[in-house]
Amino acid sequence: MSKLVTIYGGSGFVGRYIARRMAKEGWRVRVAVRRPNEAMHVKPYGVPGQVEPVFCNVRDDTSVAAVMQGADAVVNCVGVLNELGKNTFGAIHAEGAGRIARIAAQEGVDSLVHISAIGADPNAASAYSRTKAAGEAAVLEHFPSAVILRPSVIFGAEDGFFNRFAGMTRLSPVLPIAAGETRFQPVFVDDVAKAAVKGASGEVEPGVYELGGPEVKTFRALMAQMLEVIHRRRIILSLPGFMAYLVALGFDILQKASFQLIENKMLTRDQLKSLKSDNVVADGARGFVDLGISPVALGSVLPDYLWKFRPSGQYDEMTSSARNLRKNGT
């Protein structure tokens, strides 16, 4: 019988790519999520019955253990960018990660992969980064042979980074950003999935791997590249620190005043703290080279999914060519 992997958060942005790759490798895939009825898109990743979404709440021991029964490998992709209700950074990143690792050790699981983030630091200014570090420590305490992956900002068709900013260009001639000079090392989501599969399959040594793409660029430069891809001219406005704080504060207050019915998906004060530090692979850190993976460049992927934000969508190239022909009198 083929091996079984339980992927916590396996229907999310990163998790679905890992699920698809594990299925292609012949694994049976159990996708553990809070809302299985909203995760049916993972079922076609394999043959009938190979990929199944199941209910799980990572805040509950019994729930985590139930979906881990019989698993040979476990991958934890659960994470939040904003605290909502009981899903706080501490509950998800630290306690949830530790719970999964502890139960995996108790169940005798062969391998564990934990998705963390570059910038995980117990002394970080942001709660997001501090709890990511706490989660890593908890994972290694209970499951010392775990593979921990720390990606930089992740891009891909379903990402919440380039898609969000590209969408903003439809609304205004100005594209406001915070911390425009902060450096990032964008990594393709499927490259992160490849690394996770290697870890789950026991093909690489345990430990921490920092994952960044082949290019390092400032936030402003990334937005300029995005604008070039979507064929739009916009003024990139890097907000001064105090103004960015006021914007983040306003969105946070709106979320709280609406009793969290309106989620702050734009900019939180905690995210602003994270943006003060570069998000790149540290010198001497193990990474893609040690995993035997050649990361894909940003420019080779962005046009594949950002074309929908062009003025004429998929027909923009055709419209531009026709415009040039008329201009040249041909």
What tens digit of pLDDT does each residue of 173-213 get?
999 999 999 999 999 999 999 999 999 999 999 999 999 99
**Element at 7 (helix H, strand E):** strand 4-8
Is residue 4 within 8 A of residue 68, CB to CB? The reply is: no
């979906």: which residue's tokens?
67
Q: What is the largest CA-CA distance in the chain?
A: 75
Domain ranges of the chain: 4-156+185-214+280-296
pLDDT tens string 55-114: 999 999 999 999 999 999 999 999 999 999 999 999 999 999 999 999 999 999 999 999
pLDDT at 58: 97
Residue with tokens 């041909």: 330
Could you give the CA distance from residue 326 to residue 204 in angstroms, rounded to a whole number?
Answer: 58
Instruction: Note whether 125 and 89 are within 8 A (CB).
Output: no
The residues pairing with 53 across neighbouring beta strands, listed in sequence order, are 31
CATH architecture of 4-156+185-214+280-296: 3-Layer(aba) Sandwich (3.40)
Q: How far apart are alpha carbons 279 and 327 in whole angstroms?
A: 44
CA distance 87 to 246: 25
What pLDDT shows up at residue 312?
A: 86
Inter-residue contact 143 to 104 (CB < 8 Å): yes
* pTM for the predicted model, two decimal places: 0.94
* Percent composition of the chain: helix, strand, coil (DSSP 3-state, to 5): 45, 15, 40
